[in-house]
Amino acid sequence: MQFSAAQIAVIISGTLEGAAEATVNSFGKIEEAKSGQLAFLANPKYEDFLYSTKASIIIINQSLQLKQPIAATLIRVPDAYSAFAILLDKYQQIRTQQLSGIQQPVYMDATVKLGDEVFIGAFAYLGENVTIAKGVKIFPNSYLGNNVSIGENTIIHAGVKIYHECVIGKNVVIHAGTVIGSDGFGYAPQQDGSLKKVPQIGNVVIEDGVEIGANTTIDRATIGSTLIRSGAKLDNLLQIAHNVEVGNNSVIAAQSGVSGSTKIGKNVMIGGQAGIVGHIQIADGSRINAQSGVSKSIKIPNSAVTGSPAYDYTAALRSQAITRNLPQLEKRIIELEKIIKEMMVNK
């Protein structure tokens, strides 16, 4: 696909500087881009590449003052990074919209309901009473169990497994290998020491605009629903346990785990490899540092915590600073002890 600078400027509401007829057909990093590619500059530390890049079109911030002339066509916007993200999203939408029809072989129960402009890849399985809305794209080797519902323009990538009764909203993206609705981890200890499985009869509800990375697992609720609220973004390799609730526009980075029945508020940011125990509350706007272990509720909104067990971020930094100074402090204490000892002898 080929786009002109004029077309791109319209898409991202930018201001053109240079040849409006300049065209590009791919993207490139500003330090590596070639002729016919589009690049962007958002981080000032890469500004030197602006004057040496071969890119044909470059998106830059309105505030950037040029140090020398540039051959490329520039498109100025308030925020180059956000504008570039909008453009990539548009490009991906165009590519995805080209997919349509049903490849073979596919298994679809006779009760399946399909909307318009749907794509279903080869070797997909759609069970009884599955509902697929307009514009949904289901890639090969995906599994949708009985009574699953998929909202408009959602993309289900290859190998995704969505168990029975689960509900997926509009404009959701679920990446390859993710499992939605597997059983929650629930067992009742018996008097003889054995463990009896507690049936997991709930489901998973994923609201609109959610994105879920590859090989993530979201367990179905014991009773009720495991909830991923609208706008949440989940990374690869996450474990979300039964009856968890992830709030609107919250972000969880890779290899983190959230135990059962924990409620995560809105606009929460959770770093990679963090672990959160079950049955606690995480207040809106909380920030949990990577590799933190959260063992109790975070009740104050917009708090930042770190460590294992996790506690206040600022206090943790002070503790780390003190720890680094311990060898010097020990040396000073030894010297003081010597001085005191000498004073006692001379007394």
Q: For residue 138, is it within any domain? A: no
What local confidence, expressed as pLDDT, does residue 309 receive?
81
How many structural domains comprise the chain?
Answer: 3
Q: How far apart are CA 70 and CA 55, in angstroms?
A: 10
The 3-state secondary structure of 320-342 reads HHHHHHHHHHHHHHHHHHHHHHH
Domain that holds residue 335: 318-347
How many residues does the structure list for the chain? 347
Query: Does 171 share its domain with 272?
Result: yes
Is residue 176 domain-shared with residue 257, that is, in the same domain? yes
- CATH code (residue 26): 3.40.1390.10
Residue 128 falls inside a structural domain? no
* Angle at 85 (CA atoms; ends 81, 90), nearest 5 degrees: 150
Q: For CA atoms 271, 272, 273, 275, give the dihedral sign.
A: positive
27 part of a folded domain: yes
Q: What's the pLDDT at 311?
A: 67
Per-residue pLDDT tens listing for the chain (347 residues): 789 999 999 999 999 999 999 999 999 999 999 999 999 999 999 999 999 999 999 999 999 999 999 999 999 999 999 999 999 988 888 877 778 899 999 999 999 999 999 999 999 999 999 999 999 999 999 999 999 999 999 999 999 999 999 999 999 999 999 999 999 999 999 999 999 999 999 999 999 999 999 999 999 999 999 999 999 999 999 999 999 999 999 999 999 999 999 999 999 999 999 999 999 999 999 999 999 999 999 999 999 999 888 768 787 777 777 778 888 888 888 988 888 888 887 76
The confidence score (pLDDT) of residue 346 equals: 74
- Is residue 90 located within the same domain as residue 210? no
Give pTM, 2 decimals.
0.82
Instruction: Give the up-direction half-sphere exposure of residue 66: CA atoms within 13 A in the CB hemisphere.
Output: 14
Q: Are residues 298 and 322 in the same domain?
A: no
In a domain, 118, yes or no: no
Is 154 among the domain residues? Answer: no
Closest to 273 in 3D by CA, of 245, 258, 292: 292
pLDDT of residue 90: 87
Looking at the structure, do residues 195 and 281 belong to the same domain, yes or no?
Answer: yes
123 in a domain, yes or no?
no
Respond yes or no: is residue 242 known to be catalytic.
Answer: yes
Q: Tell me, what's the pLDDT at 345?
A: 79
- Active-site residue among 164, 175, 242, 279? 242
pLDDT at 223 (0 to 100): 96
